[in-house]
Chain A
Amino acid sequence: MAFKRVFRGGVSTPHHKNTLKSETSVLGTPEKVIIPMVQHIGAPCTPTVKKGDTVKVGQIIGNSDAYVSSPIHSSVSGTITRVEPMLYASGKLVMSIEIQTDGKQEVYEGISPPEVNNREDFLKAIRNSGLVGLGGAGFPTHVKLNPPKDKDVDSLIINGAECEPYITSDYREMIENPTGIIEGIQLVLDYLNINNAIIGIEDNKPDAIKLLAETSKSDKRISIKSLSSRYPQGAEKMLIYATTGRTVLSGKLPADVGCIVLNVNTVSYIAQYLKTGMPLVQRRVTVDGSVVSNPQNVSVPIGTSLKDLFDFCGGFKSQPYKVLMGGPMMGIAQYSLETSVIKNTNAILAFDKKQGDLPEEWPCIRCGKCIQACPMNLLPLELNRLVMADKFEDLDRYHILDCIECGSCSYSCPSKRYLVQSIRIGKDAVKRKVNRV
């Protein structure tokens, strides 16, 4: 494996993988959980319970008839105390369900391993499990696993890159549950009739590469690819390029180049669900950052508030200034510790003012570092200039919609310009215009 195909651009961020050695600890049952009805890309769920109802672990509490959606289950047993819009990870108000726990953690009666005999059963089971992409984007997995009939999918790509600094929740899965990952891969290969799976892992995690290679030794369909540790290696298009050499064309999906991409945690959950039938109600979260007393990986019930999570990790060493859901490159800053862990939350990070503050913006000196850093080969400085001058009509010429918002441009800018931040505004404006026409 001497040859490493590297995507264009990207940046060498510090890794800060402080929690690599942290075995996953388990947070028991919090006093209450808040479970939002949006935990995935697609149609929001509608609550199927009302205030005063009692629920048990694994019981459906929100669902939707839409295809691109995923049901939401209670992660605890207890009583519904509120069903109303509450503060959500994105900063908006979203319909959410608050459950006061009874501490018994009684399992819902209907929970049993699903009967799966064919592809249809398999996809149905995945939908019922409430599984969405656990790597961050939260796309419903049953939709991903069911590409349009005319797409000839020949490769399953498993994302173990984990290129964001600090986060180690994928790494811990690879170390703690390698057999689960391989079993999950085999299930997907079998039911979807695919003959080739590639697990892509950044080369700063050699033990994970070795462990998965050993575990998958007997299955010739599965191979491991060591990837260069360069951000954003875990971005879908970069990962597909690095593992297969295929280029996903602008506006197209992985299935168009014969690929399905799943995160390591996602695929291992598939194996777990088929064995137990317990819907997705618990996940591993990396808790880290300069002000956290005991950084570690924690397995928590979905809906646990950030406050409970930080308390479990020994609270704060000093006043937190900024709290992120996700990594420092693409994570979302949180207004409040009242928001809760959702299905695609892979990390919660807390920083002090020095690290968390927004740097002062200086004039662009046209050094071109952002161009070299852009994995999509765009011109971030030009897009920034056009957006700041309100010249939205020119943005298309510079392919603004191809931006994957990885933040490499802003990271590399010596003038600390808010490049990707302004590009987001531009993308929004262009999309709205496209929709209007």
Chain B
Amino acid sequence: MENRLFVCSSPHLRDNVSTRRIMLDVIIALIPATIAGIIFFGMRSALVVVATVAASVLTEYIMRKGLGRGQTISDLSAAVTGLLLALNLPPSIPIWIAVVGAVIATGLIKQLFGGLGQNFMNPALGARAILTVSWARWMTEWTDPLFVDAVSTATVDAVSTATPLGVLKEGGASTFSYLDMFLGNVPGCIGETSALAILLGLAYLLFRRVISWHIPTFFVGTVALSTWILGPGGVFTGDPLYHVLSGGLLIGAVFMATDYATCPMTRKGRIIYAIGCGALTVLFRLYGSMAEGVSFAILLMNIVTPMIDRYTVPVAFGGEKHVE
């Protein structure tokens, strides 16, 4: 027989999207929040970012090598995990704790469960949860942003201060303006304080079609609606804007809850999941012992995701609903 041509099953045409490009887009979308963190909390934030990204990528490299699998660091997902973790840590976190967090995120939560796409919970959030319960003191110690109004706080270079949500939890009256909260000029995790920076990232992700609007909208919408209804002075006395702009809600709703591997597959499932995330966040924030509840809300919904997927199998076009 003559030289055979190459054959394979159709389709023979592929879109030019790639996993690496998607991960790169997420990194690009996180740049504004990273820069905001460095502006508001100083160069130490940059050190935390570098440490977690490096530790995360190195962990992935060593794990893949140790497990005898092909190298995957070029897909950039380890870098994304490291970056997301850094943005969810307080600026004053000891570097070694941040590194431990990165090892937990990439090594334990991601690689031990099979690597990219196989983890059942968001690696960065899972690591953050472990750090929060293991090193509670360091994880809840907040730094004032560099541009804080000296009048509003007792000490200029305060090591410990309260976040907007912390103030709320203690029943105090907030001194933070909506503008400062929107810009990010309030205490909090490195990447979570600036709503503006996160919204810029969201716009980019939507533009690049990396994510759809459903999860952020339903997540934030549920929180806004519920906190408004369940106000401290009775029904409809809450301050939804304060809740939306404070804590990790926006970064959680835009970057963490939308993690492909740990959110449901279908649009319907994703809406159910986002509403669940919002409801749990409100439950933890208003009635829990900790000030913040976004990360635990998302982690819990991560665990529910397979069940949501199971009950939201779509009906085929022209098909009948499958009877369970």
Question: A407's contact among B6, B10, B316, by CB below 8 Å, is which?
Answer: B10
Q: B18 to A414, Cβ gap below 8 A? A: yes
**Contact A250-B116, Cβ < 8 Å, known A333-B7, A366-B260, A411-B13:** no
Q: Does B314 reach chain A (CB closer than 8 Å)?
A: yes
**Contact A381-B11, Cβ < 8 Å, known A363-B115, A366-B117, A399-B319:** no
B80-101 Cβ-contact flags toward A at 8 Å (1 or 0): 0000000000000000000000
Question: B316's contact among A250, A411, A416, A420, by CB below 8 Å, is which?
Answer: A250
Q: A237 to B317, Cβ gap below 8 A? A: yes
From 327 to 350 in chain A, residues with beta carbon under 8 angstroms from any chain B beta carbon are: 328-338
Q: A330 to B11, Cβ gap below 8 A? A: yes
A385 to chain B, nearest CB (A): 10
A236-259 Cβ-contact flags toward B at 8 Å (1 or 0): 010000000001111010000000
Overall SS of chain A's interface: loop
Question: B318's contact among A14, A338, A402, A405, by CB below 8 Å, is which?
Answer: A402
Distance A359 CA – B5 CA, assembled complex (angstroms): 17
List of A residues within 8 angstroms of B9 by Cβ: 333, 418, 420-421, 424
Question: B313's contact among A320, A357, A397, by CB below 8 Å, is which?
Answer: A397
Distance A351 CA – B7 CA, assembled complex (angstroms): 12
From 391 to 416 in chain A, residues with beta carbon under 8 angstroms from any chain B beta carbon are: 397-399, 402, 405, 407, 410-416
Overall SS of chain B's interface: loop
Question: B13's contact among A329, A357, A362, A415, by CB below 8 Å, is which?
Answer: A329
**Contact A91-B7, Cβ < 8 Å, known A377-B315, A411-B13:** yes
Interface size class of B (residues with CB under 8 A): 35 or more
Q: A330 to B313, Cβ gap below 8 A? A: no
Distance A249 CA – B6 CA, assembled complex (angstroms): 37
Distance A323 CA – B316 CA, assembled complex (angstroms): 33
List of B residues within 8 angstroms of A357 by Cβ: 6
From 303 to 337 in chain A, residues with beta carbon under 8 angstroms from any chain B beta carbon are: 320-324, 326, 328-337
Q: B261 to A365, Cβ gap below 8 A? A: yes
A412 to chain B, nearest CB (A): 5
Q: Does A379 reach chain B (CB closer than 8 Å)?
A: yes
Q: B320 to A331, Cβ gap below 8 A? A: no
Interface size on A, residues (CB 8 A): 71
Q: B316 to A399, Cβ gap below 8 A? A: yes
List of B residues within 8 angstroms of A351 by Cβ: 12
Q: A378 to B5, Cβ gap below 8 A? A: no
Q: B17 to A412, Cβ gap below 8 A? A: yes
Question: A356's contact among B6, B11, B117, B265, by CB below 8 Å, is which?
Answer: B6
* B75 nearest CB neighbor, chain A only: A362
Q: Does A8 reach chain B (CB closer than 8 Å)?
A: yes
* B12 nearest CB neighbor, chain A only: A328
Distance A381 CA – B72 CA, assembled complex (angstroms): 20
Distance A357 CA – B12 CA, assembled complex (angstroms): 8
List of B residues within 8 angstroms of A359 by Cβ: 14
Q: Does A36 reach chain B (CB closer than 8 Å)?
A: no
Q: B117 to A328, Cβ gap below 8 A? A: no
Q: Does A371 reach chain B (CB closer than 8 Å)?
A: yes
A125-155 Cβ-contact flags toward B at 8 Å (1 or 0): 0000000000000000000000000000000
List of A residues within 8 angstroms of B22 by Cβ: 365, 367, 414
Question: B118's contact among A363, A402, A410, by CB below 8 Å, is which?
Answer: A363
Q: Does A368 reach chain B (CB closer than 8 Å)?
A: yes
List of B residues within 8 angstroms of A416 by Cβ: 14, 18
List of A residues within 8 angstroms of B11 by Cβ: 328-330, 407, 410-411, 420
B219 to chain A, nearest CB (A): 17
B96 to chain A, nearest CB (A): 31
List of A residues within 8 angstroms of B1 by Cβ: 336
Q: B317 to A324, Cβ gap below 8 A? A: no
Which of B14, B320, B322 has the most chain A CB atoms closer than 10 A to its own CB?
B14
List of A residues within 8 angstroms of B263 by Cβ: 366
B10 to chain A, nearest CB (A): 5
Distance A335 CA – B1 CA, assembled complex (angstroms): 10
B256-274 Cβ-contact flags toward A at 8 Å (1 or 0): 0000110101110000000
List of B residues within 8 angstroms of A375 by Cβ: 317
Q: Does A358 reach chain B (CB closer than 8 Å)?
A: yes
B315 to chain A, nearest CB (A): 7
List of B residues within 8 angstroms of A411 by Cβ: 11, 13-15
Question: B10's contact among A247, A330, A335, A353, by CB below 8 Å, is which?
Answer: A330
Distance A378 CA – B322 CA, assembled complex (angstroms): 12
Which of B2, B115, B260, B319 has the most chain A CB atoms closer than 10 A to its own CB?
B319
Q: A397 to B322, Cβ gap below 8 A? A: yes
A-B contacts, 13 of them at CB < 8 A, read A321-B6, A322-B8, A323-B5, A328-B11, A331-B10, A336-B4, A366-B263, A371-B314, A377-B317, A399-B322, A411-B15, A414-B21, A415-B19
Apart from A328-B12, A363-B115, list 5 A-B contacts with CB within 8 A: A322-B5, A328-B10, A329-B13, A368-B265, A376-B317
Q: Which A residues form the contact surface with B (CB < 8 A)?
A: 7-8, 11, 13-14, 91, 165, 237, 247-250, 252, 320-324, 326, 328-338, 351, 353, 355-359, 362-369, 371-372, 375-379, 381-382, 397-399, 402, 405, 407, 410-416, 418, 420-421, 424
- Pairs of residues from A and B, 10 with the lowest C-beta to C-beta distance, nearest first: A407-B11, A333-B7, A328-B13, A250-B319, A402-B316, A399-B316, A414-B17, A421-B9, A365-B117, A328-B12
